[in-house]
Chain A
Amino acid sequence: MKRNKLYLAILWGLAGGLAGETIAATDLFNNPVSSIGATRPADTFNSPVSSIGSPSAPSTATTTPLAETKPLPVATATAPAPVAQAAPASQPETTTAATTPAPAVTATPAATAAAPAADNKTVAAADAQQPAKSKLWSYQPVKEPVQPDVKNKGWVRTPIDAFVLAALEAKGLNPSGDADRAAFIRRATLDVWGVIPTPEDVANFVNDTSPDAYEKLADRLLSSTKYGERQARRWLDLARYSDSTGFQGDQTRPNFWRYRDYVISAFNSDKPYSQFIQEQLAGDEILPDKQEGLIATGFLAGFPDNSNSRDLVQRKYQITTDMTDTVGKVFLGQTVECARCHNHKFDKISQKDYYSLQSFFANVSAVDNIPAAKGDIERKYEKQQAKWEEATKEIREKQQAIIEPYKEAALKYHNERYLTDSRESIFKPKEQWNAHDRWINHRLANVTGDDDLAGYLRDASNSTNNKDYSAEIALKDKEYKELTEELRKFDDLKPASGSLTISGVSELGHQDAPPSYVFFGGDHERKLEEVQPAFPEAITEEKPDIKPTGFSSGRRTALAKWIASDTNPLTARVYVNRIWEEYFGRGIVETVSDFGKAGQKPTNPELLDYLAAKFVKEGWSIKKLHREILLSSVYRQSSDYREDIAKADNENKLLGVFPRKRLEAEEIRDSLLVASGKLEDKVGGPSVFPPIPDNLGAAPAQWKVSKDKKDQNRRSLYIFTRRSLPYPLLDTFDMATAQEAHSKRDVTTTPLQSLALFNSDIVLGWSQALAGRVINEAGTDESAQLDRLYEILFARKASASEKETLEKFLSSHEKVVREKTADGKFEISIPTGLKDGQKLDPIRAAAFVDLVHTVANSNEFIYRF
């Protein structure tokens, strides 16, 4: 507790832009110890296994076909190099051999890692067999194309249509006609909001005879907060968003919902994408005195982490790696991570480029204790926290008293658990710290708590053989443990959700960053040349303009500005393509996070550049981009099957029909909630815990079901994301994994999904509620009930033949239910939430629940057409 408060105060000052002496908090944890062996392992055996990405079997690294080798398609097997693109090899490549840009941030002399350099050359030589080529299409500037001429001019509602139509006409194909309005509004509402529309919304739109009915619909959809929620979910996929750290401990990160809410609000307020990027990458530098800017950096701070790692140097490398790779993938659509262990096999990204990119993040520390402005959530939290503190004051003071005399020994003991190179920093006197030591010690302070100190008592008292053993320690340990048990009894008094603080990143008030190096084979223990922050040379000749802020290196601001600049060839293309993929199920560039050579080429490059240029021209307005797509003829097409398209364009790459799509995990759950009338429509706030199956075997500490029933019925993006325990109902429908940036939702179809949707008590409960709603809204007439059910789920009435099938089922099913209940033992599920005074035959009503449940399981509900 004490540590946290001190620490927090410091960070606040820091976040406010104060430079200077700010790391005092870590003093508590650093008792300089005379001499700890500081040997750097040079052993050839150990190093291959001591780090990520180092080749353990040299033979595989050079002689065997590496992972990057093109897998069969035999036609290319004889090609000299694994080159995926057939660009004319005319222009000689000049950038690869260019000298390093050297932005003057630090003046550290270059590394003196002479020995391994020779090794590196071998690798480089093996990899650098690519013939010189012209600049990759995606690295070339976006050029606004001329709108093509088309025959069927009447079909062109937006320029988008002209680009799509031109390609169709070139193949002699016609586009499909408009979808009927009901199908259209169901499609658009699902795509923009992530839930099905209400029957009233459907009727209003279908009956709207005004010429701008579609425009009004688009504007209505885009101005709802549900738009931001739906868009946020897809962005959170990319941000590998989680409310927990991951790894074995998988500790709760109580502040990350603030980042989620920031994202929702960014979309809803139509924050320009360029600004959205800059805030997430460098909000702490750009908007240091705004809470929003700090919260935005949760994007970087969301890396998977394990607080118990004993190798802090390796941890730093892995964290930096996560940030670099995530940024490369998400914003630039580049698989930069391929260049971590060796020069990129396909793209002209060298290891040096890669580590230059890493160095933008070299000085970044994660901070979790920035105080948040006080609103209702915080005040409520504080009040509850105060109750817990009051109730447990005595116990905690007793524990403090037990630990106090051992604090020094306990800290030393704890700190000694870290590996050799971490200890070099940990046991170095503070006045000698360099930027690297500062990072390590901040990390140490951040992951060390009272429980870690208590570990000393536990271990020392475990056996009389222990050198620190004494009868007194054993007694103290026993007392401490008993107090911990006692303390646990008050857990229910702790605030169930919320927090008082913000998580984000910071450079801890210092503008000097630790040096960055190229690592041989990606092994952080094998340093090669030192590198400075620089953009990949293959993409741009621009040099970063780094201006230290006085409390931060300014590196990330420079990076963010380049990424978000109007002239960056990748950023806008990559983003408009992601949005396109959301609507049409396939990007114009199918590999949405790989715009490199190994990725797919755009199926319609002019369309991509049109969208990208327009996006930038419209001030990076995301809503305008959505609006244009929503109002296009391409999007308005019917999804009905067409023989001619199936023959001429089997994969529908030209979009001659509208592609139907399985609903995403959250769309399924949220739409069922909407249908049942149970959705708790509230935007933002701490994450919630709906029930999970009993046989999942989750520890209570990992998943404490929300007490408030309403919280159990919030939209899926508010469900707590625990990396080790993905919410089962969503997980089975291919929701994003939170382990790394998730670029594209897969669509798999499995029996486990069927089981979940058919057998889950929760889903059945929604069906019961939906049955009740249908009866309430349609009255007792069964034909009207079926129409209402179909209106709610499918945005249409049931056909006569469907009604016949369903009526037949009801009659037969009534008998089955009656038989089942004959012995009086079997319970039945009846409609819930009925208005007062409804008189129902319970058996027929139970049969109706089954009917509703079955219809909700059908393809027509799980897909949007």
Chain B
Amino acid sequence: MNNQSRRDFLLKSGYGLGGLALSGLLPGGGIMQAAFASELEDPLAPKAPHFPAKVKSVIWLHMDGAPSTIDLYDYKPELVKLAGQEVPPSFLKGIKTSTQGGVGKLFASNRTWKQYGESGAWFSDLLPNLSQHADKIAFIKSSVTVGATHDISILKLNTGGLNPGRPSLGAWIQYALGTANPDLPAYVVLYNGKREPTGGSVNWSAGFLPAVYQGTAFRPGNSPILYLDRPETEAATQQAENLSLLKLLNEKKDAAYPNDSELQARVRAYELAARMQTTAPEAVDLSKESEKTKEQYGLNDEVTKGYGTSLLRARRLVERGVRFIQVVSGPTDVNGDTRNWDAHTNLEENHGKHARVVDKPIAGLLADLKERGLLDSTLVVWTSEFGRTSYGQSGTGRDHNAWGYTQWLAGGGVKAGTTYGATDEIGLQVADKSLGVDTYDLHATVLNQMGLDHLKLIYKYQGRSERPTVVYGKVIKELIA
């Protein structure tokens, strides 16, 4: 069977049908292998990776708005020394800048810096809790990307495309590996704050992959999925009887089409939906978590409660076999405005607040995963669309920096306590450009930890064999244990 018709077959055969037992896993993942009957039954049936995976789940921590990593991890004494002076032209070579606010004066914030752990990683005073986990982290201090505006770079961070339309990383993973828990989506998006992250679902879209692979946004509150709750007027007993009738009616109709797996899949989908009404709220219900755990994630503090809730939910989803959890950091009140990390002005207040929002919950997550023995099977990625410039903007902020910033990995298969790459002496551009890590490389590396070869993970679309890293990407082996 060729790929096109096989893909159709997969689509038509629906969701959640049979074959979910972990036995009978298919080698190869994706659709590179010839058709297997059990796979055709269900586009979300679990599939084996290309090679043994290091981790079962990824928690993708997107710091929305782009933090200044030279104020968090990337200590630059030279920048402090040169603060207030024009940027020496040699540092600006080869980059396209905007002149607004004047590229010229280097800017240092009021940070104090210390080294932590055996690795001696630098942290600023903005991250007092996370710094305690220095030795769990592998830093990428040579991150680069395309940086014109947030939306383009966020799209690229999540999908590899500069225009909407490509599948997000989580969608590729769900496509390649299926689900490990049929009662929950395998790709979940979490956010705190009242609103969906700006740009919306395009950042967890399935792109050109079938829609079944898109991320499911779990909304803040008790009812995480759209339409999860029964209508107010309908009792559980009532709905159960309705569903029994529905099954009867469908089976009657479907009997005339004995080979029609799509019709049968629809019957099964209702059964799964009914189960999801219990499993999804349970997955995000924190009431049974211990006081200690809640404290660990900062749930007892109004400042950290929202983000901490997302991260504790993330851990619960990891426990339930969800493969990719994308957590977007929410906005907070800065100088009367609702702002994300995007500190063009007021960096001091902005980062002071945002760092406080995420510092304790992330530290809590790492500690909790470790205590529960989950850190080895989970990859935590701290990431953002770009960083911020060494030169100031508006006197009190920093502009966008796509030429050198820090991201980090922790967890399964990660060479903890290392640093890969470096920026120049003022933290503006990657020093040794052969060590630059683009989002494609990050994606390739994450996929690698999930047991997937980014060059072999393929989906045929519009006559092109598409892969997650477009035509780029390399696994950064130095980050891997």
- B149 & A728 in contact (Cβ 8 Å cutoff): no
- B94 & A764 in contact (Cβ 8 Å cutoff): no
| B1-43 Cβ-contact flags toward A at 8 Å (1 or 0) | 0111100110110111000000000000001111000000001
CB-nearest residue of chain A relative to B33? A72
Q: How far is the CB of A750 from chain B (nearest CB, A)?
A: 5
The CA of A50 and the CA of B198, in the complex, are separated in Å by 24
Interface residues of A in 239-293 (CB under 8 A from B): 246-250
- A306 & B263 in contact (Cβ 8 Å cutoff): no
- A594 & B463 in contact (Cβ 8 Å cutoff): yes
- B231 & A248 in contact (Cβ 8 Å cutoff): no
Interface residues of B in 191-209 (CB under 8 A from A): 191, 194-196, 198-202, 205, 207
The CA of A661 and the CA of B410, in the complex, are separated in Å by 47
| B208-231 Cβ-contact flags toward A at 8 Å (1 or 0) | 001110001001110111111111
Interface residues of B in 379-407 (CB under 8 A from A): 394-397, 402-403
Interface residues of A in 517-537 (CB under 8 A from B): none
| B139-154 Cβ-contact flags toward A at 8 Å (1 or 0) | 0000011101111101
Stretch in B120-128, B244-252, B297-305 touching the partner = B244-252
The CA of A695 and the CA of B4, in the complex, are separated in Å by 37
- B248 & A805 in contact (Cβ 8 Å cutoff): yes
Q: Given the complex, which residues of B lie within 8 Å of A751, measured CB to CB?
A: 15-16, 269-270, 272-273, 276
B369 at the interface (CB under 8 A from A): no
- B462 & A724 in contact (Cβ 8 Å cutoff): no
A602 at the interface (CB under 8 A from B): no
Q: Given the complex, which residues of B lie within 8 Å of A854, measured CB to CB?
A: 242-243, 245-246, 249
- B219 & A826 in contact (Cβ 8 Å cutoff): no
Central interface residue in B249, B430, B440, B460, by most chain A CB within 10 Å: B249
Q: How far is the CB of A740 from chain B (nearest CB, A)?
A: 4
Stretch in A212-220, A460-468, A832-840 touching the partner = A460-468
- A749 & B265 in contact (Cβ 8 Å cutoff): yes
The CA of A50 and the CA of B220, in the complex, are separated in Å by 36
The CA of A311 and the CA of B230, in the complex, are separated in Å by 48
- A56 & B270 in contact (Cβ 8 Å cutoff): no
A421 at the interface (CB under 8 A from B): yes
Q: How far is the CB of A459 from chain B (nearest CB, A)?
A: 5
- B256 & A640 in contact (Cβ 8 Å cutoff): yes
The CA of A419 and the CA of B142, in the complex, are separated in Å by 23
B412 at the interface (CB under 8 A from A): no
Interface residues of B in 229-269 (CB under 8 A from A): 229-235, 237-239, 241-243, 245-246, 248-250, 252-254, 256-260, 262-263, 265-267, 269
- A813 & B402 in contact (Cβ 8 Å cutoff): no
| A39-52 Cβ-contact flags toward B at 8 Å (1 or 0) | 00111111011111
Given A739-B202, A859-B250, A860-B253: A752 and B344 interface contact (C-beta under 8 Å): no
Q: Given the complex, which residues of A lie within 8 Å of B15, measured CB to CB?
A: 748-751
Q: Given the complex, which residues of A lie within 8 Å of B466, measured CB to CB?
A: 67
- A820 & B238 in contact (Cβ 8 Å cutoff): yes
B74 at the interface (CB under 8 A from A): no
CB-nearest residue of chain B relative to A311? B148
Given A60-B473, A753-B269: A598 and B464 interface contact (C-beta under 8 Å): yes
Q: Is the interface of B mostly helix, strand, loop or mixed?
A: loop
CB-nearest residue of chain B relative to A71? B458
B100 at the interface (CB under 8 A from A): yes
CB-nearest residue of chain B relative to A750? B15
- A697 & B194 in contact (Cβ 8 Å cutoff): yes
B97 at the interface (CB under 8 A from A): yes
Central interface residue in A65, A420, A586, A737, by most chain B CB within 10 Å: A737
B95 at the interface (CB under 8 A from A): yes
B402's contact among A49, A69, A740, by CB below 8 Å, is which?
A49
The CA of A322 and the CA of B103, in the complex, are separated in Å by 33
- B249 & A805 in contact (Cβ 8 Å cutoff): yes
Stretch in A4-12, A410-418, A680-688, A769-777 touching the partner = A410-418
Q: How far is the CB of A829 from chain B (nearest CB, A)?
A: 4
CB-nearest residue of chain A relative to B93? A43
The CA of A813 and the CA of B241, in the complex, are separated in Å by 7
- B150 & A662 in contact (Cβ 8 Å cutoff): no
A651's contact among B5, B16, B456, by CB below 8 Å, is which?
B5
Q: Given the complex, which residues of A lie within 8 Å of B181, measured CB to CB?
A: none
Stretch in B108-116, B162-170, B306-314 touching the partner = B162-170
Given A462-B346, A641-B256, A857-B246: A250 and B200 interface contact (C-beta under 8 Å): yes
- B97 & A859 in contact (Cβ 8 Å cutoff): no
B149's contact among A61, A306, A737, by CB below 8 Å, is which?
A306
A558 at the interface (CB under 8 A from B): no
CB-nearest residue of chain A relative to B5? A651
Q: Given the complex, which residues of B lie within 8 Å of A131, measured CB to CB?
A: none
| A15-57 Cβ-contact flags toward B at 8 Å (1 or 0) | 0000000000000000000001000011111101111110111
- A463 & B346 in contact (Cβ 8 Å cutoff): yes
Interface residues of A in 285-305 (CB under 8 A from B): 304
Given A49-B145, A828-B233, A854-B249: A416 and B98 interface contact (C-beta under 8 Å): yes
- A304 & B96 in contact (Cβ 8 Å cutoff): no
The CA of A640 and the CA of B396, in the complex, are separated in Å by 72
- A338 & B219 in contact (Cβ 8 Å cutoff): no
A93 at the interface (CB under 8 A from B): no
- A67 & B98 in contact (Cβ 8 Å cutoff): no
Given A318-B163, A466-B395, A759-B230: A60 and B252 interface contact (C-beta under 8 Å): no
The CA of A850 and the CA of B462, in the complex, are separated in Å by 44
Question: 11 A-B residue contacts at CB 8 Å?
Answer: A53-B470, A67-B458, A464-B395, A590-B5, A726-B201, A737-B164, A755-B277, A809-B245, A820-B235, A857-B246, A859-B250
Beyond contacts A311-B148, A341-B471, A827-B232: 20 other A-B pairs, Cβ-Cβ < 8 A, are A41-B94, A52-B163, A61-B471, A64-B455, A67-B471, A71-B460, A73-B2, A73-B34, A248-B154, A304-B163, A304-B164, A309-B149, A465-B394, A593-B462, A599-B463, A724-B200, A724-B202, A740-B165, A749-B15, A758-B239
Contact surface of B with A, Cβ cutoff 8 Å = 2-5, 8-9, 11-12, 14-16, 31-34, 43, 93-102, 144-146, 148-152, 154-155, 162-165, 185, 191, 194-196, 198-202, 205, 207, 210-212, 216, 219-221, 223-235, 237-239, 241-243, 245-246, 248-250, 252-254, 256-260, 262-263, 265-267, 269-270, 272-273, 276-277, 335, 344-346, 394-397, 402-403, 430, 433, 436, 438, 440-441, 455-456, 458, 460, 462-467, 470-474
